[in-house]
Structure 1
């Protein structure tokens, strides 16, 4: 069980770190990163918070990834929920400062993208199931055999277009993010010698059996002992 809780802690830390990376890119104030263009556009259109928009979008993308053959896990569900919650909390408390100049904004943007890439390493590596967006990235990588950076880049560009159509903020930072996020992920994973296709993600069924199956077996053994 200790290993399970260590993995769970790694998952939650990765999700929090991901939200931090997103807010850093938002506060760079030179154009939102691709998914945030979509989330902000969706939030404005629907009249909801950015975090809530992220949760709804994650749920829809998760279903698409599931249809493409990716497994649903505890990490997938927590990704859908916690990143949105962490986003609203971090934005609400104004923890991360706003960029005071364009040059500082560029630096913040790049840092934010690498924080997001590092966060992906943590929560995908927990093997509880990749988040909806990364599940889609992994699914496309397996289906197309293209480099993971290329697949991530294609997804980000599609999110930018949809977000722009919904009224999301588009700027130079958006272009930089769309063109470099895939390579930030690829560089980070390569430096950490991390291959997402080798991760055997744990499904919800396996997690449930591990947490509650042993208890049921123990109860059955106790009942048998009492009968004897």
Structure 2
């Protein structure tokens, strides 16, 4: 690997981890509002109840199953970031939960909490779009809608909304806890990511490669 390749990889890694940090900042705000878990967490809660295991263990099981399915059906989609996203998400979310801990979210009224949740969806979308633009890969549960988009050309937002609604329906049926935040997250996250993804793809790639990118997710 020559010097330019090393510099390119370092640039990608920097943007990748900034993206992970931004995502988990949004997730931490989502959690702190305490007006409903995100769709994937509801699904995780349901599976944990079904299998009689902890939510954390259920998350590992689900993610592993998704990873195996992707490996079988579209192994070329798996990249170093698929693994890095898995192992780095936990530490980053713990960090941001501790940073936000002094803020008394419980003292806010429901309207403020809803506003914060809407902001968190935007933050997650920005972080995810930055991470995706590095082409290093994303977490298995985030990779599935991207693979479906690439194979079907259906807009990402509709795939993401459909998957989130499936997560919510199955999770709630199995005992997962939902709230107004869950519904907002299910319907808003996909479209907001759809909005930011092509824009940040161009910006991030322009910085990484020192030239504009023509890669746009439609």
Does residue 1:72 correspond to 2:101, yes or no?
Answer: no
Whether the aligned pair in 2 keeps the contact of 1:124 and 1:131 (CA below 8 Å) is: no
Does residue 1:82 correspond to 2:88, yes or no?
Answer: yes
Describe the shift of the 1:198–1:60 C-alpha distance in structure 2 as closer, same or farther (beyond 3 A).
farther
2:122 maps to 114
1:32 maps to 37
Whether the aligned pair in 2 keeps the contact of 1:54 and 1:80 (CA below 8 Å) is: no
Trace 1:77-156 onto structure 2 (pairs within 5 A): 77-91=83-97, 93=98, 95-96=100-101, 97=103, 98-99=105-106, 100-156=108-164
- Paired residues, number: 195
Question: What secondary structure is seen at the aligned counterpart in 2 of 1:192?
Answer: helix
TM-score (norm 1): 0.75
TM-score (norm 2): 0.78
The alpha carbon displacement at 1:172 in A equals 1.3
State which of 169, 173, 188 in structure 1 corresponds to 2:177.
169
The alpha carbon displacement at 1:95 in A equals 2.2
State which of 162, 184, 188 in structure 2 corresponds to 1:180.
188
Please give the alpha-carbon distance, in whole angstroms, between the structure 1 residues aligned to 2:55 and 2:182. Answer: 22
2:12 maps to 7
Whether the aligned pair in 2 keeps the contact of 1:15 and 1:123 (CA below 8 Å) is: yes
Please give the alpha-carbon distance, in whole angstroms, between the structure 1 residues aligned to 2:93 and 2:129. Answer: 19
1:222 maps to none
Unaligned runs of 5+ in 2: 1-5, 206-213
Trace 1:205-220 onto structure 2 (pairs within 5 A): none
Structure 1 vs Structure 2 CA RMSD:
2.6
